[in-house]
Amino acid sequence: MNLLLHILFWIAVLGTVTSSIYCLMVIAAAIRFGVRRRREERAAMTSTFLPPVSVLKPLHGTEDGMEQNLETFFQQNYPEFELLFCARHDNDAGLQLARKVAERYPHVDAKFVTCGEPTPQFHNAKVFSLAKLNSVARHDLFITSDGDARVTPDYLRKMVQNLRDPHVGLASSIYLGTVHKGMAAGLSSHLDAVGKSVEMSSGVIVADMLEGTKFALGVTMAVRRQSFAEVGGFEELGQFYADDFVLGNRLAEKGTGVLLASHVIRLLVEDTPFGISFRNQLRWMQSTRRSRPWGHLGTGLTFALPFGLLGLLWGVLSGHVLLGMLWLVGMIANRWLQAGAVLSVMGDSGWAYNTLIYPLRDLLGSILWLGSYGGDSFYYRGRTYRMRNGGRVEDSHTGAAH
């Protein structure tokens, strides 16, 4: 029993130390990001670098809040841009919704195309759509975004500034997870949203502070047309689930500039049952484990709540109950500090509630992290796939790589 208590104690101590160091790093990175964000936002409003851009938006079906998401792209305060929408088929509900929104903005140059079902070279249907959009785009500077992205009227102006330096090939944004139904939504959706806002953004801004950005976040990117060709083209990217990570990582390896944009957008999160939400988040965790295995392994030491609970368990079993309770409270405060720092610099209007619930998200995140080592199969859009090393995927039924 004494040996078990010693092991439990030292594991809790290790995690407490590493998660506390990580919290301090996040706070420093958040302050750095906030200073840069204010500086670059002021510069963007007076900049004369306003080249024509093509906005590429792959679509597949609809989801809660999507009409408002799409409308924000038609409301851009930018001199010359085209909006390009692509779905697999002309009767796709998302494409039809985009056409409906476009009727309210006849002055905006909007085009709608279809690409059909992905060919065998493409597992990633989004990349297949991007390849089609690339073929019809008039401009060489792209802004790509997902259907669940919601932006402000100055979005294009601020994003395109990242490409002012001709040596920069790509810039992507962190995002605030926002639940479409607000407080009426279930807790699982709020935990998913705050995880996207804090857990994801914390890792990104710390990585940017320590070594620069060597990856991309695909929710929205400012990217040059030639950047896709530099990493092997769309057919190569289409073999990966995390195509955005691969694109940014390969560009960085080639010496092409990859930036973390200081502009923050919103990512709308649907109100879904816990099981579906958990499965979707686990799929991304599995992808991260395969894309960057060593970094993902180290992520386990950045969580705080599991080690606080181990400290509490040690306290109960060893007769130091009060110390164990204080240990857990300290780890909760650790996560409150992290969430408060990140959400405040990102401008989250609901930062108080999101900070309050973040310790629960930290615990859920650690469970998802453990679950990512439980297998390689995942379910996505009616089919089951298997994740391979490097983030490539294959159809689990046929064994054919995509």
- DSSP per residue, 44-64: HHH------EEEEEE--S--T
Predicted pLDDT of residue 273: 87
Residue extents of the structural domains in the chain: 2-395
pLDDT band for position 397 (cuts 50, 70, 90): low
Considering the entire predicted model, what is its pTM? 0.90
- Please provide the DSSP assignment of 147-190 as one string: TTEE--TTHHHHHHGGGSSTTEEEEE--EEEEETTGGGS-HHHH
Backbone angles phi, psi at 142, to 5 degrees: -110, 145
Predicted pLDDT of residue 400: 46
Torsion, Cα of 298, 300, 304, 310 (10° steps): -130
* Contact (CB, 8 A) for 402 and 307: no
In the block, residue with structure tokens 């085209």:
82
Predicted pLDDT of residue 294: 83
Whether the predicted pLDDT of 402 surpasses 90: no
**Mean pLDDT on 268-294:** 85
* Contact (CB, 8 A) for 215 and 263: no
User: What is the third-level CATH fold of 2-395?
Assistant: Spore Coat Polysaccharide Biosynthesis Protein SpsA; Chain A (3.90.550)
Predicted pLDDT of residue 392: 66
Question: Helix or strand or coil: residue 268?
Answer: strand
Q: Which two tokens stand for residue 15?
A: 């995690």
- Please provide the DSSP assignment of 106-117 as one string: TTSEEEEEE--S
Whether the predicted pLDDT of 100 surpasses 90: yes
| Burial of residue 331, with CB atoms counted within 10 A of its CB: 0-12 exposed, 13-18 middle, 19 or more buried | buried
Q: Which two tokens stand for residue 273?
A: 């049952």
Whether the predicted pLDDT of 377 surpasses 80: no
Residue whose C-alpha is closest to residue 356's, from 333, 375, 376: 333
Whether the predicted pLDDT of 393 surpasses 80: no
* Contact (CB, 8 A) for 29 and 208: yes
Calpha distance 224→28 (Å, rounded): 31
**Mean pLDDT on 47-74:** 96
* Contact (CB, 8 A) for 277 and 194: no
Higher-confidence residue: 357 or 382?
A: 357
Predicted pLDDT of residue 269: 93
What stretch of H or E contains 73?
A: helix 66-74
pLDDT band for position 398 (cuts 50, 70, 90): very low
Higher-confidence residue: 291 or 399?
A: 291
Calpha distance 194→136 (Å, rounded): 37
Calpha distance 3→111 (Å, rounded): 68
**Mean pLDDT on 262-281:** 90
**Mean pLDDT on 238-250:** 91
Each residue of 312-325: pLDDT tens digit? 999 999 999 999 99
Predicted pLDDT of residue 86: 97
Predicted pLDDT of residue 285: 87
Q: Which two tokens stand for residue 115?
A: 């690409």
pLDDT band for position 389 (cuts 50, 70, 90): low
Q: Which two tokens stand for residue 175?
A: 């995002």
Whether the predicted pLDDT of 401 surpasses 60: no
The whole-chain average pLDDT of the chain stands at: 92
Residue whose C-alpha is closest to residue 134's, from 235, 46, 265: 235
* Contact (CB, 8 A) for 246 and 256: no
List the alpha helices (DSSP H) in 292-385: 293-299, 305-318, 321-346, 351-371
What's 258's DSSP letter? E
pLDDT band for position 2 (cuts 50, 70, 90): confident
Calpha distance 235→399 (Å, rounded): 19
What stretch of H or E contains 84?
A: strand 81-87
Q: Which two tokens stand for residue 259?
A: 């930036």
**Mean pLDDT on 185-190:** 91
Calpha distance 173→2 (Å, rounded): 49
Calpha distance 297→278 (Å, rounded): 20
Whether the predicted pLDDT of 382 surpasses 80: no
